[in-house]
Structure 1
Amino acid sequence: MKLNLIIPSFYPAVIYGGPIFSTYHACSELAKLVNVNIRVSTTNTNMNSRLVVETNKWVPLNGFHVKYYNETIIGKLSLSLIFNIWKDIKKADLVHIQSIFNTPTPISLFYAKLFEKKVLLSPRGSLGEWCLDNGNKFKSYWLKYAIKPFLKNVVWHSTAQQEKNEILQIFPTAKVEIIPNGIEYEKFQVNNVCSTKEYIKRFLNLDVDADKIVVSMGRIQKKKGFDILINSFADVLNKYPIAKLVIAGEDEGELSALLSLVEKLNLTDSVYFIGSIAGQDKIDFLANADLFVLPSHNENFGNVYVESLAAGTPIVASNNTPWSEVEVAECGKWVPNSIKETSNAMLEMLSRDRETMRLNAKKLAEKYDWKNIAIQFKTLFERMVKP
């Protein structure tokens, strides 16, 4: 089975966060399975720069191949992809298109229809109400005229029931399959244990202690709800006066406003931004914290939630995310992303037994191992291409 994955950006463009890792790991695990030949068509965009990779030719990567089309205008347009993507699609048995509001999507849908190829379309969270309301008004026209005409034989992929509902709200007759994102579960089982004082010294370079450590991680943008988190943490300090909130992630234009909020609330000795972290630092950052909190306005999945769980740290997630199951598994709270609801959830979780929640969190996260997710994808692909 020849699969052509079409996506605007791909590994090693890790600046884009979770989706880059999820697509890379999905391809890596799928490539290990029998009768799956994967070719990824993408661009060399790296947000404000270009990846240092070979372009316009197939390059081997961890058991599959990638073609990085050169970006004509960084992050906006690849003429090379526009004029050549048809060749990749024509040779495939099935086309998996990821993203909605990017130039390659309608072009790929057009060629897939022309060559009568089956299509799996993943919106990657872009059809959430918050994303649509806070985006360009042109999006509704894009959906109506650039996407809808090509959807007759398309199967949609969602990562959770919530995203499936979002798709059906816009396209009521859509056929939607749910397959979640995954995680390298075993990697998150190895961490360097440290005390709170050692933790603060390592990640903040401060010689102080804390009674609780709350962490968060994600691109520093409005969608993530960090302003809600900071306001909520002010309430937590009433019970845990020397607690620390540590937020990791790449700034996407929101950091200045959040730092102003921290200063306004007199939290400069309690709330810290440490930029992006990865690898073992990321695992240790999550595993040694008392609680992970991200009151996002919208997530189709949210890789970082399951990464925290795999590292053994309970979570507080907003009910704009698909993580209601943490309540049943007793390793988190799923609440409206208001300040009061978030602070109440944080206080409740910080009062629970940490070791019990560590075991519960790991147990829940294990089912999201990429090996299991890859098998689900292969089963779907085989069903789609069956005559």
Structure 2
Amino acid sequence: MKINLIIPSFYPATIYGGPIFSTLHTCKELAKLEGININVSTTNTNMHSKLDVETNKDIKFEDNFCVKYYDETKVDKFSLQLYLNVWKDIKSSDIAHIQAIFNTPVPISLFYAKLFKKPILLTPRGSLGEWCIENGSKFKTMWLKYLLKPLVKNITWHATAQQEKDEILAIYPDAKVEIIPNGIEYDKFQISNTLSKREYSRKFINQDIEPNKIIVSMGRLQKKKGFDILIDSFYETLKSFPNSILLIAGGNEGEEKNLKNQIKNLNLENNVFLIGAIEGQDKIDFLANADLFCLPSHNENFGNVYVESLATGTPIVASKMTPWSEAEDYDCGKWVENSIEETLKAMNEVLKKDRGTMRINSRKLAFKYDWKTIANNFKNLYEKILEQK
């Protein structure tokens, strides 16, 4: 079974965050399964630049897993090379698995897949959330109604959670939607360096202090993530846990200046720190040695960083605009409205609980999302789609 995965950007374009890693790991685990061959069609975009990769050529990542990067004619906008050539990749496949919605490779790939009568699995990657649509341009509504609607009839949609399925059905009521969550390299997140609070402060903010509590968050600095809500909530949390610190890790996508002004206006320069993007072992240590991870996002179809935090043993506070209600079922966090009042209440509640118990419960929940299980779920879905052809 040959799967052609069409996606606007791919590893090593890690600037795009969690989806890049989740797609990579899905492909790697799928390629290990008998009878599966993965061919990725993508571009060399890296948001504001281009990846240093060969283009228009199959690059072997692993056995049964190749990637072809098409050159971006205009960075992060469109690739003429992809438009002119991706039809060959789709025609030679058994299934076209298209990821994203508001990206130019999507409609052209849908068109070619329809033309060659290839079964289609479409993964919107959280782009159909109500908040994302309402706070986007009017062009998004036109894109969905006039460009995509004629092309998405009789296809299968992939959602990462029930919330995302509901978002798809709200726009396309007759859609056929299957749910498969993202996964995690669970074992990788069990290996962390134990740091005292002073060592942690030295490592991540270059300050020789010993804070009361360490609260962390992570994500691209954009309005959608709700970091402004988090900072206001943390300001109030200091009344219960004085001398605590909040560290936010992530690259800037337009909100850094606003967040810095908010921190200054609240006189939190000694308590709140924007530390930029971190990866690898630093990321694991950053999460594992914190007391709490909090991200009151306005919309997440999954939110890889929540499960990454849980895998390291750190409890979470997630907004109800994310699918992480299980945090309450497993007693390893809170799932609340992303208001200042509710976020504050949740943070204080989790910080008062026993850290050891929270660590055990967090890891129990995260273990459900091992990539091997996720890959098998995708294989079963691909086989089901082919049977229905």
TM-score, normalised to structure 1's length?
A: 0.99
Residues 109-137 of structure 1 show CA distances to partners (whole Å, capped at 9, x for unaligned) of 11111100000000000000010011111
Partner of 2:36: 36
Partner of 1:116: 117
Task: Tell me if 1:3 matches 2:3.
Answer: yes
Partner of 2:57: 57
Moved more, 142-151 or 52-61: 142-151
For 1:349-368, what aligned pairs fall within 5 Å after superposition?
349-368=350-369
| Structure 2 counterpart SS, 1:138 | helix
Alpha carbons 1:29, 1:371 under 8 Å: kept: yes
Partner of 2:86: 85
Q: Which runs of 5+ in 1 are unaligned?
A: none
Alpha carbons 1:89, 1:111 under 8 Å: kept: yes
Residues 130-178 of structure 1 show CA distances to partners (whole Å, capped at 9, x for unaligned) of 1001111111111112111112221000000000000000000000000
Residues 166-205 of structure 1 show CA distances to partners (whole Å, capped at 9, x for unaligned) of 0000000000000000000000000000111110011111
Task: Tell me if 1:238 matches 2:236.
Answer: no
Count of matched residue pairs: 387
Alpha carbons 1:5, 1:98 under 8 Å: kept: yes
Residues 234-281 of structure 1 show CA distances to partners (whole Å, capped at 9, x for unaligned) of 111001110000010001110011000001011111000110100000
Alpha carbons 1:118, 1:153 under 8 Å: kept: no
Partner of 1:150: 151
Task: Tell me if 1:226 matches 2:227.
Answer: yes
Residue identity matched to 2:294: V
Partner of 1:76: 77
Residues 302-352 of structure 1 show CA distances to partners (whole Å, capped at 9, x for unaligned) of 000000000000000000000001101000000000001001100000000
| Structure 2 counterpart SS, 1:246 | strand
Alpha carbons 1:215, 1:245 under 8 Å: kept: yes
Partner of 2:194: 193
For 1:335-374, what aligned pairs fall within 5 Å after superposition?
335-374=336-375
| Structure 2 counterpart SS, 1:182 | coil
Distance in 2 between residues matched to 1:375 and 1:158, nearest whole Å: 16
Partner of 2:165: 164
Partner of 2:27: 27
TM-score, normalised to structure 2's length?
A: 0.99
| Structure 1 counterpart SS, 2:96 | strand
Task: Tell me if 1:319 matches 2:290.
Answer: no
Task: Tell me if 1:279 matches 2:276.
Answer: no
Distance in 2 between residues matched to 1:153 and 1:336, nearest whole Å: 35
Residues 79-122 of structure 1 show CA distances to partners (whole Å, capped at 9, x for unaligned) of 00001111000000001000001111111111111100000000
Alpha carbons 1:210, 1:242 under 8 Å: kept: yes
Q: Cα RMSD between the aligned structures?
A: 0.6
Residues 361-387 of structure 1 show CA distances to partners (whole Å, capped at 9, x for unaligned) of 000000101011000000000111125
For 1:173-212, what aligned pairs fall within 5 Å after superposition?
173-212=174-213
Residue identity matched to 2:180: I
| Structure 1 counterpart SS, 2:192 | coil
Residue identity matched to 2:36: V
Distance in 1 between residues matched to 2:151 and 2:187, nearest whole Å: 40
| Structure 2 counterpart SS, 1:80 | helix
| Structure 2 counterpart SS, 1:230 | helix
Residue identity matched to 2:56: N
Residues 62-83 of structure 1 show CA distances to partners (whole Å, capped at 9, x for unaligned) of 3310000000000001000001
Alpha carbons 1:159, 1:180 under 8 Å: kept: yes
| Structure 2 counterpart SS, 1:372 | helix
Residue identity matched to 2:20: I
Partner of 1:106: 107
Residue identity matched to 2:298: H
Residue identity matched to 1:162: Q
